[in-house]
């Protein structure tokens, strides 16, 4: 399970004369970018570095990834380069796909030329619609595996996680928010109007984030009984929503890869999403080692009821996945598990997940 890896998300920049890149090593590798093309910087989410004022100047949402790219018209030697930041993974990946064409390659050196630069965007209107639908599906808040990572379906699960990486994440983030907020508040009386305006924006940002994170802080750090009950309920709801996302995926997968027999942009997004989800289920208490079995086990838990707060739910007699299978056939073998096994054969998989899923 990968909170350590969550922290290794990247801020990336592209300089004027060199293509650099990428928040997504998957994309770099699948697109044939060379290591020398890349200038990566890590933003440690465990320490709340994504909330630093310097980072917020680049990405005002305070999320990763960010890709900083030069504006085309300022890439001449005679001009100062101006940059623009792409601040979400869909825009970043689209940019990286479009930015390494064969034409561009032919202007570069032979070693780099030798690497293929396949177009990963679908070529047809139907393909694009199917691709967009899949990408949207795994980026919707309801299917956010990062939330599932923090979720606790019982007070016991919460207590276990509070002593682990999840607890460290909530704590590190809370401390960073409080510290950055205090710094902004200390500068509140600046006479420089520009600084004053920046400061009030920062204060508003930190206040919003602190309010949004209050349920997590209440449950994880303050051990507040009401907050714990509310968080357990929200967590169960999030887990219950998972089968329907998986069922949609199951019906939308079109072939060996998401859109058929070619690896495409949708696969880059799906690989990241599935890897994170499978890392989460593997990290659940008592999970089997095999990630697909761990997913089955997590889904079973939802159907049978697991360790529960309040009255114990009796495990149902019927096959647990039968209820999940109501949404689609999620029993192995199925399209999704075959698809995952195919993704695991990609060189980008070995490069990104060789040391473990995250
Ligand atoms: N829509 C954005 C969301 C990215 C996102 O939420 N990233 C997570 C890490 S995987 C993040 O930055 N979390 C930090 C936070 O929300 O404070 C994207 O796809 O780029």
CATH of residue 115's domain is 3.40.30.10
Q: Are 183 and 115 members of one domain?
A: no
Q: Is residue 313 part of a domain?
A: yes
> For position 98, what pLDDT does the model report?
83
> For position 297, what pLDDT does the model report?
92
Q: Which one, of 198, 181, 156, lies nearest residue 306 by Cα?
A: 156
Q: Are 149 and 46 members of one domain?
A: no
Range of the domain at 36: 3-120
Q: Are 157 and 115 members of one domain?
A: no
Q: Which one, of 22, 18, 2, lies nearest residue 104 by Cα?
A: 18
Ligand 1 center–CA 114 separation, angstroms: 34
Q: What is the 3-state secondary structure (H, E, C) of the chain?
A: CCHHHHCCEEEEECCCCCCCCCCCHHHHHHCCCCHHHCEEEEECHHHCHHHCHHHHHHCCCCCCCEEEEECHHHCCCCCCCCEEEECCHHHHHHHHHHCCCHHHHHCCCHHHHCCCCCCCCCCCHHHHHHHHHHHHHHHCHHHCHHHHHHCCCCHHHHHHHHCCHHHHHHHHHHHHHHHHHHHHHHCCCCCCHHHHHHHHHHHHHHHHHHHHHHHHHHHHCCCCHHHHHHHHHHHHHHHHHHHHHHHHHHHHCCCCECCECCCCHHHHHHHHHHHHHHHHHHCCCCCCCCHHHHHHHHHHHHHHCCCCCCCCCCCCCCCHHHHHHCCCCCCCCCHHHHHHHHHCCCHHHHHHHCCCCC
Ligand 1 center–CA 146 separation, angstroms: 9
Ligand 1 center–CA 88 separation, angstroms: 8
Q: Are 248 and 178 members of one domain?
A: yes
Q: Is residue 126 part of a domain?
A: no
| For ligand 1, atom 15: residue with the closest CA | 63
Q: Which of 91, 120, 149 is the last residue of a domain?
A: 120
| For ligand 1, atom 2: residue with the closest CA | 88
The alpha carbon of residue 120 and the mean position of all alpha carbons in its chain are separated, in whole angstroms, by 20
Ligand 1 center–CA 7 separation, angstroms: 11
Ligand 1 center–CA 58 separation, angstroms: 14
Q: Is residue 321 part of a domain?
A: yes
Q: Are 147 and 114 members of one domain?
A: no
> For position 78, what pLDDT does the model report?
59
Residues 6 or more apart in contact with residue 20 via CB below 8 angstroms: 12, 13, 14, 37, 38, 39
Phi-psi region of 257 (alpha: psi -120 to 50; beta: other; left: phi over 0): beta
Q: Which one, of 141, 327, 346, 332, lies nearest residue 249 by Cα?
A: 327
Task: For residues 85 and 106, give the distance between their C-alpha atoms in angstroms, rounded to a whole number.
Answer: 26
> For position 118, what pLDDT does the model report?
78
Task: For residues 169 and 45, give the distance between their C-alpha atoms in angstroms, rounded to a whole number.
Answer: 7
Q: Is residue 136 part of a domain?
A: no
Q: Is the CB–ligand 1 distance for residue 23 below 6 Å? A: no
> For position 170, what pLDDT does the model report?
97
Q: Are 234 and 332 members of one domain?
A: yes
Q: Is residue 133 part of a domain?
A: no
Query: 280 is written with which tokens?
Result: 């989460």
Ligand 1 center–CA 62 separation, angstroms: 8
Q: Which of 120, 150, 175 is the last residue of a domain?
A: 120
Q: Are 64 and 34 members of one domain?
A: yes
Q: Are 207 and 295 members of one domain?
A: yes
Q: Which one, of 254, 252, 247, lies nearest residue 325 by Cα?
A: 247
Q: Is residue 125 part of a domain?
A: no
pLDDT in tens, the chain (358 residues): 222 222 222 333 332 222 222 335 555 677 777 666 667 788 888 999 999 999 999 999 999 888 888 776 655 565 566 788 899 889 988 888 887 655 454 555 545 445 667 788 998 999 999 999 999 999 999 999 999 999 999 999 999 999 999 999 999 999 999 999 999 999 888 888 888 899 999 999 999 999 999 999 999 999 999 999 999 999 999 999 999 999 999 999 999 999 999 999 999 999 999 999 999 999 998 999 999 999 999 988 765 555 433 333 444 433 444 444 554 445 445 899 999 999 999 988 988 888 899 8
> For position 100, what pLDDT does the model report?
67
Task: For residues 96 and 81, give the distance between their C-alpha atoms in angstroms, rounded to a whole number.
Answer: 19
| For ligand 1, atom 16: residue with the closest CA | 63
Q: Are 171 and 283 members of one domain?
A: yes
Q: Are 104 and 167 members of one domain?
A: no
Q: Is the CB–ligand 1 distance for residue 9 below 6 Å? A: yes
Q: Is residue 132 part of a domain?
A: no
Q: Is residue 158 part of a domain?
A: yes
Q: How far is CA 199 from CA 45, 51, 340, 353, in A?
A: 22, 13, 46, 40
> For position 320, what pLDDT does the model report?
40
Q: Which of 75, 91, 120 is the last residue of a domain?
A: 120
Q: Is the CB–ligand 1 distance for residue 24 below 6 Å? A: no
Q: Are 77 and 160 members of one domain?
A: no
Question: Would you call the peptide bond into 22 cis, given omega within 30 degrees of 0 as the criterion?
Answer: yes
According to DSSP, the residues that pair with 70 across neighbouring strands are 83
Structural domains in the chain (count): 2
| For ligand 1, atom 1: residue with the closest CA | 88
Task: For residues 321 and 329, give the distance between their C-alpha atoms in angstroms, rounded to a whole number.
Answer: 9
Q: Which one, of 182, 173, 162, 180, lies nearest residue 47 by Cα?
A: 173
Residues 6 or more apart in contact with residue 132 via CB below 8 angstroms: none
Q: Are 217 and 158 members of one domain?
A: yes
According to DSSP, the residues that pair with 10 across neighbouring strands are 42
Q: Is the CB–ligand 1 distance for residue 45 below 6 Å? A: yes
> For position 268, what pLDDT does the model report?
92
């Amino acid at each position: 399970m990968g909170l350590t890896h969550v922290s290794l998300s990247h801020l990336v920049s592209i300089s004027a004369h060199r293509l650099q890149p990428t928040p997504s090593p998957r994309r770099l590798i699948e697109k044939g970018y060379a290591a020398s093309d890349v200038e990566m910087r890590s933003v440690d989410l465990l320490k709340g570095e994504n909330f630093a004022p310097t980072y917020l100047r680049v990405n005002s949402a305070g999320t990763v990834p960010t890709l900083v790219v030069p504006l085309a018209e300022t890439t001449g030697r005679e001009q100062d380069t101006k940059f623009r930041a792409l601040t979400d993974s869909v825009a970043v990946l689209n940019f990286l796909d479009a930015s390494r064409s064969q034409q561009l390659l032919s202007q570069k050196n032979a070693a780099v030329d030798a690497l293929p630069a396949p177009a990963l965007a679908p070529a047809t209107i139907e393909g694009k619609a199917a691709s967009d639908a899949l990408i949207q599906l795994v980026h919707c808040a309801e299917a956010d595996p990062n939330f599932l990572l923090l979720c606790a379906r019982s007070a016991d699960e919460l207590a276990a996680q509070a002593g682990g990486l999840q607890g460290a994440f909530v704590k590190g983030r809370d401390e960073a928010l409080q510290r950055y907020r205090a710094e902004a508040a200390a500068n509140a009386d600046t006479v420089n109007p520009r600084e004053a305006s920046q400061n009030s924006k920062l204060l508003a940002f930190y206040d919003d984030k602190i309010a949004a994170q209050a349920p997590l802080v209440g449950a994880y750090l303050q051990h507040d009984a009401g907050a714990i009950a509310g968080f357990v309920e929200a967590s169960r709801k999030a887990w219950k929503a998972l089968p329907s996302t998986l069922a949609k995926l199951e019906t939308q997968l079109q072939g060996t890869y998401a859109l058929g027999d070619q690896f495409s942009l949708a696969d880059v997004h799906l690989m990241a999403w599935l890897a994170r989800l499978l890392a989460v289920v593997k990290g659940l208490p008592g999970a089997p080692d095999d990630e697909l079995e761990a997913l089955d086990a997590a889904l079973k838990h939802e159907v049978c009821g697991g360790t529960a707060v309040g009255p114990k739910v009796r495990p149902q007699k019927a096959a647990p996945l039968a209820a999940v299978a109501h949404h689609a056939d999620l029993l192995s073998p199925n399209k999704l598990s075959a698809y995952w096994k195919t993704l695991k054969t990609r060189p980008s998989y070995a490069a990104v997940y060789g040391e473990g899923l995250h």
